[in-house]
Structure 1
Amino acid sequence: MQTQNPLLDDLKGILPLIAKNACDAETLRRVPDENIRLLKSVGLHKAFLPKVYGGFEVSLPEFTECISALAGACCSTAWAFSLLCTHNHQMAMFSKQLQEDVWGDDPDATACSSIAPFGKTQETEGGIIFNGDMRWSSGCDHAEWAIVGFLRDNKEGAKDYCFAVIPACDYQIDDDWHAMAMKGSGTKTLQIKNAFVPEHRIEKAKDMMEGRSSGFNLYPESEIYFAPYRPYFASGFAAMSLGVAERMVEVFRDVTKTRVRAYTGAKVGAATPALMRLAESHHQVSAAKAFMQATWQEHKQHALEHKYPSTETLTHWRTNQAYAVKMCIQAVDRLFEAIGGNNWFEDKEAQRLFRDCHMTGAHAYTDYDVCAQILGRELMGLEPDPALL
């Protein structure tokens, strides 16, 4: 049964305007300012913001419904804005002092990220000095803060994977996002030089996955923060792939319905191959949707019960998402193969959907070659391979 989702209802009212800006997003190579303004006007950026700062703390199924719908209008916008939203969930697990830094005077503030541990740091009194060219920071043009990754020496002589939160005034944006897909996501490089990061803006990734971070249980009445950060951080990837695939089914149907072969005059929409491709992709997208909805409901149920997920559960949640993305890409490919040469022109929606859908499977979290190994080891009772995580 469909549950109420007021945030989605409000979002639907602005999606035509966002879809209209999709080509501009690709030209600009970032999300248009109007799209950000529209999305903030309906409060989507508050989805995972703590209620104490005016946030909504919506469930994961409600959020992913919104991101899927947004991706059908403009996947570049969905990619960047989804991450700006989910980073709020991550920062809600940092210290209260960090949260006050970010949202105390500006509850609309958001953070971009570059979480691979490529930052170079030096210990100093009260924190660290951070340096690095931090790549893959989607939506950075519209963020007031950045979450960046680095490795930090610990007392045992090993290294801890950590996150630091840095204000936009402490970095420059290198406008280097020249990609063939998700062109409008503005996934640029943050250039950070000698930025001081105090201890209260630093957390270990492991602590944020095991309920030991500074902000863990800071909001005991909440239904979404008694959880590891990563499933929420990555929740939008499959939702975006699904939204693009659902839109591709619609575009193929509409294009093919009136398509006539130039040399023969045959009506393509009545031909058996087109009907079969449409039917199979429809079934595949529907299956991916049902699979992910069931997975997102598991997230919600864990949250409602304040039940921290086991390693086995986390493995299934991650790899379920990657498999759903794989299914969506297959469904899109099947349709794009037969939609006709006219749809390869850059002003056609189908070619953008084709490109963007493939990008949803290119993230480290959705790489199915990696995820299949992770799940296979879990099913076989083998220890996790750190090289795959």
Structure 2
Amino acid sequence: MSQAATQSVLDGVRDLLPTFRDRADEAERLRVVPESSVKELEETGFFRLLQPRRFDGLEADPVDFYTAVRDVASACGSTGWVSSVVGVHPWQVALFADEAQQAVWGEDTATRLSSSYAPTGKATVTDGGYRLSGKWSFSSGCDHCQWVLLGGLVFNEDGNVVDFKTFMLPRKDYAILDVWHMVGLSGTGSNDILVEDVFVPEAFTLSMGETGQCRGPGQAQNPSDLYKLPFHSIFTGTITTPIIGIAMGAYDDHVAMQQQRTRAAYLGEKASLDPFSAVRIARASSEIDAAWALLVNNIREEQEYVAKGERIPLKTRLKVRRDQVIGSQRAIDAIDSLFEASGGRALAEGTPLQRAWRDAHAGRVHAANDPERALQMYGAHEFGHKIDPGMY
């Protein structure tokens, strides 16, 4: 597929931004992204950006995918979040055995998947596969999906853990529990998934140990360099990117608000003439730009190693995670600064800035944004300690 096809998707997404902005209240009220928004994203080709070409995908540059997500999130945080986490799943499905890929896309290449990767389920080894049971939380966009990817620990007959896998299940094998009542990212429909003693064939599983080594059986059918990048680089980027996009939208809203605002406490002074306000937006914009620039630069660096057929150094992979968690924090700090300077009217229900503040802080508590763990790993590696590459 040509870059022109990818650019067509980006252009189509940008055309939808005013609509997504207008629907932000509706998404919060429904507690899920409106079906019309998902359909419109599908029509642009967005969900095919990271999908294999043999299943009508674009195999696009991940930076283009992140750019589209960033733009959507700038208009509506919940829609941006769901588009990101649902839109990245085709990348992982491409690593599964061909049998699993065919089951997902063989009849309908528009099939979507949600996920919940925390290993809160239990799988036991059986003939030809595994018996899986458990309950998983925070499966964003699950109501718009026909399959799910679930993390689970694998136990042998002696009750010992022998692997950590991703299990792929069709809609008939799990129930969705409507539990999503949150103050931030409230339109993401991140409900619980319940599985009760379901058989999952071996081909529909993927070991996280193998994934951590940038390998997967699906690479035999999908040899693109896209599918040789680290899982934890690609997937954690899908968590930080919407937060950066939310910050960009908040920044634009704040600047527009300040240009119209007068400050009664300061004798009717125009807020835009306040030199301290000018300094604040300069700092906020720099933090947002830095978060985005590092995310893009790090992915580009990994792509260069893959293109040369070289193994990505562990230090580089750890740097990706270092800058990813700090990037999320930079974007949130920028929103906090802008929100504090926006005046009481920004607190009104329905205003974009207060929603951005709530959504960004909700995104901050995602496990991928745990800064201490990622930063400790980077620092420990710098000191010469052994680090498990499977986690990064």
| TM-score bin, normalised by smaller chain | over 0.9
SS at the partner of 2:130?
A: strand
Match of 1:277 in 2: 280
What amino acid maps onto 1:72 in structure 2? S
- Once the two structures are TM-superposed, the CA of residue 216 in structure 1 deviates from its matched residue by 3.0
Alignment of 1:111-122 (within 5 A): 111-122=113-124
CA distance in 2 between counterparts of 1:72 and 1:141 reads 23
Alignment of 1:116-135 (within 5 A): 116-135=118-137
Confirm whether residue 256 of structure 1 aligns to residue 263 of structure 2: no
Q: Indicate if the aligned counterparts of 2:336 and 2:357 stay in contact, CA closer than 8 A.
A: yes
What amino acid maps onto 1:71 in structure 2? A
CA distance in 1 between counterparts of 2:355 and 2:149 reads 29
CA distance in 2 between counterparts of 1:53 and 1:388 reads 29
What amino acid maps onto 2:19 in structure 1? L
Confirm whether residue 48 of structure 1 aligns to residue 27 of structure 2: no
C-alpha change, 1:83 and 1:197, in structure 2 (3 Å) is same
C-alpha change, 1:356 and 1:119, in structure 2 (3 Å) is same
Confirm whether residue 39 of structure 1 aligns to residue 51 of structure 2: no
Moved over 6 A (4+): 385-389
Which stretches in structure 1 are left out of the alignment for 5+ residues? none
CA distance in 1 between counterparts of 2:87 and 2:12 reads 16
Confirm whether residue 321 of structure 1 aligns to residue 324 of structure 2: yes
Which stretches in structure 2 are left out of the alignment for 5+ residues? none
Match of 1:203 in 2: 206
Cα distance per residue 1:43-81 (max 9 Å; x no partner): 100011100000000011111111111110111111112
CA distance in 2 between counterparts of 1:368 and 1:387 reads 18
What is the aligned counterpart of 1:189 among 181, 192, 210? Answer: 192
Match of 2:292 in 1: 289
- Once the two structures are TM-superposed, the CA of residue 131 in structure 1 deviates from its matched residue by 1.2
SS at the partner of 1:184?
A: coil
Q: Indicate if the aligned counterparts of 2:244 and 2:331 stay in contact, CA closer than 8 A.
A: yes
After TM superposition, the structure 1 stretch with the greater mean CA deviation from structure 2, 257-266 or 169-178, is: 257-266
CA distance in 2 between counterparts of 1:299 and 1:74 reads 30
CA distance in 2 between counterparts of 1:306 and 1:359 reads 38
CA distance in 2 between counterparts of 1:98 and 1:90 reads 11
CA distance in 1 between counterparts of 2:177 and 2:36 reads 22
- Once the two structures are TM-superposed, the CA of residue 190 in structure 1 deviates from its matched residue by 0.6
CA RMSD of aligned residues (A): 2.1
Match of 2:112 in 1: 110
CA distance in 2 between counterparts of 1:254 and 1:287 reads 22
TM-score scaled by length of structure 1: 0.94
TM-score scaled by length of structure 2: 0.93
Q: Which has the higher helix share?
A: 2
CA distance in 2 between counterparts of 1:108 and 1:306 reads 32
Match of 1:143 in 2: 145
What is the aligned counterpart of 1:218 among 216, 221, 244? Answer: 221
What amino acid maps onto 1:66 in structure 2? A
- Once the two structures are TM-superposed, the CA of residue 171 in structure 1 deviates from its matched residue by 1.1
Alignment of 1:62-81 (within 5 A): 62-81=64-83
What amino acid maps onto 1:166 in structure 2? L
SS at the partner of 1:196?
A: strand
Cα distance per residue 1:164-189 (max 9 Å; x no partner): 10011111111101111111111110
What amino acid maps onto 1:372 in structure 2? L
- Once the two structures are TM-superposed, the CA of residue 313 in structure 1 deviates from its matched residue by 1.7
